[in-house]
Structure 1
Amino acid sequence: MAQLVLLSSEIQPYSLKDDGTFPNNAHLPVLYYEDCLQLPDNFSAGPAIEALFVSNQWGGVWQNGIQTFHHYHSTSHEALGVASGHVNLQLGGPHGVVLELKRGDVVIIPAGVAHCNLDSSTDFSCVGAYPRGQEQYDLLSGEPGERPDADARMSLLALPVIDPVYGTDGPLMNYWVEWRQKV
């Protein structure tokens, strides 16, 4: 029976600073785990990615696309695992970096980082999840008046205790703790 297999992945961090509209997160980088999930052809990856995230204490799981407008969450960090197709995901607002995510990739987005689906294949689908205790996320779009309240919520937000892909021995916490100490 086909199953999801974890592969080691070179972690690609992206530091995104406040652009005046979107807070982004100078203290925590976006982490891109390229090709971290081996997904056999004709394998229904969505349920397997959901189960992986849940087994690592990330909840509030959903499977769908990604919003086509720039938005961020001030009450939660977010993991996105690509189950099918591909997407051009812009991070950091309209002038931010663009990643082409494909089936088997995972991106971990810290609270405050704007993200937007610029373009995707017709079969694109991803699984989203949030650290335990942060499943009730907000959806902010950079409107006047969102800040400084959103910034205050982000400053109080706990770090995840488990990597959504690699579990307790995963690199997420090391990257984020080390990054916070640098800033």
Structure 2
Amino acid sequence: MVVEVRTYTIKPTPLMPNSPHVLIHYPGLLRSKIENPSFNPADLYDLYASNGWESQWVARYGPTQPSHYHSAAHEAMTVISGEGATLRFGVADTSDDDEEHTHGKGYEDGGVEVQARKGDVFILPAGVAHKTYDPKPDAPSLAFHQCKDENGVVIRDPAKARKFFEGIELGEHFQMMGSYPFENDWDFAVGGQHRGRERQVWAVPKPKRDPVLGESTEGLCGLWKEKPTLSKL
């Protein structure tokens, strides 16, 4: 299988830690799998679990969302339905107004904007800022389905977790599935929360396997260093 790999170096900003590891994008890597008439999100749960990653949610995206990052976990996001959306990486919102921080000037300078399509996989190092907006087809609001029990605890029993993803309806709207290295819980950090403590975020351990490519050096196993060189930032 020929894998197209795109990488982006996302340097720290005044408000966002970002990462010494590159952001990885596999355009359309899983499109044929997802477009198979028999596809179910549980299939991706199985794929990621085989590589030591734990899927925890599926989101149908609304018009926009706050820019944020995860301080204690790397993240894989896979586009499982919809026509597309814009993902902005690397910068914090500087306005509370949705229109201003999405289409205006209410965010930090710099960053990278990528058009996401069905079958794309993004691997985000801990600390990398991101937001998703302008999904197609349009959806009125965010619908966030988390693989948690009635007490709000992540379901880690494989049979129960798989059943959760089997029950997800794909539909026509833009949806992504979020996965993390096993037993890594994510937080929702916004600009400035780790100012002066960026190295704490950068120290999150490198996963042993890429969520899709496993031990292949085409993926994070070859692209991320065990001890990233912080001086390059």
Q: Same fold (TM over 0.5)?
A: yes
Partner of 2:131: 116
Task: Kindly state the Cα deviation for residue 178 of structure 1 after the two structures are TM-superposed.
Answer: 8.3
Paired with 1:21 and 1:124, the residues of 2 have a C-alpha distance of 28
Paired with 2:36 and 2:52, the residues of 1 have a C-alpha distance of 27
SS of the residue corresponding to residue 13 of structure 1 reads: strand
Paired with 2:222 and 2:124, the residues of 1 have a C-alpha distance of 15
Partner of 2:21: 28
Partner of 2:99: none
Is residue 2:41 matched to residue 1:46? yes
Partner of 1:176: 224
Instruction: Kindly tell me the number of residue pairs found equivalent between the two proteins.
Output: 173
Task: Kindly state the Cα deviation for residue 173 of structure 1 after the two structures are TM-superposed.
Answer: 1.4
Letter in 1 for 2:24: L
Paired with 1:155 and 1:180, the residues of 2 have a C-alpha distance of 8
Q: Determine if contact 1:73/1:140 at 8 Å carries over to the other structure.
A: yes
Q: Determine if contact 1:58/1:164 at 8 Å carries over to the other structure.
A: yes
Percent identical among aligned pairs is: 30
Q: Determine if contact 1:46/1:126 at 8 Å carries over to the other structure.
A: no
Q: Determine if contact 1:29/1:179 at 8 Å carries over to the other structure.
A: no
Task: Kindly state the Cα deviation for residue 63 of structure 1 after the two structures are TM-superposed.
Answer: 1.1
The 1:115/1:140 distance shift into structure 2, 3 A limit, reads same
The 1:96/1:155 distance shift into structure 2, 3 A limit, reads closer
The 1:83/1:179 distance shift into structure 2, 3 A limit, reads farther
Paired with 2:186 and 2:115, the residues of 1 have a C-alpha distance of 25
Task: Kindly state the Cα deviation for residue 41 of structure 1 after the two structures are TM-superposed.
Answer: 5.0
Written as runs of structure 1 = structure 2, the 5 A alignment for 1:143-158 is 143=192, 145-149=193-197, 151-158=198-205
Partner of 2:114: 99
Paired with 2:112 and 2:67, the residues of 1 have a C-alpha distance of 13
Partner of 1:132: 182
Normalised to the residue count of structure 1, the TM-score between the two structures is 0.84
Q: Determine if contact 1:33/1:105 at 8 Å carries over to the other structure.
A: yes
Is residue 2:88 matched to residue 1:90? yes
Partner of 2:6: 12
Paired with 2:228 and 2:80, the residues of 1 have a C-alpha distance of 31
Task: Kindly state the Cα deviation for residue 118 of structure 1 after the two structures are TM-superposed.
Answer: 2.2
Name which one, 1 or 2, has greater alpha-carbon Rg: 2
Deviations 1:19-51 (A, max 9, x none): 1011111x1010000111123254545222222
Q: Determine if contact 2:48/2:55 at 8 Å carries over to the other structure.
A: no
Paired with 2:128 and 2:220, the residues of 1 have a C-alpha distance of 16
Letter in 1 for 2:18: N
Deviations 1:136-158 (A, max 9, x none): 11110114x54234x24313310
Structure 1 residues without counterparts, runs of 5 or longer: 1-6
Letter in 2 for 1:125: Q
Q: Please give the root-mean-square deviation of Cα atoms over the aligned residues, in Å.
A: 2.2
Normalised to the residue count of structure 2, the TM-score between the two structures is 0.67
Deviations 1:52-95 (A, max 9, x none): 11221111421114671100011011000110012211011143
Q: Which has the higher contact order (CA 8 A, sep 6+)?
A: 2
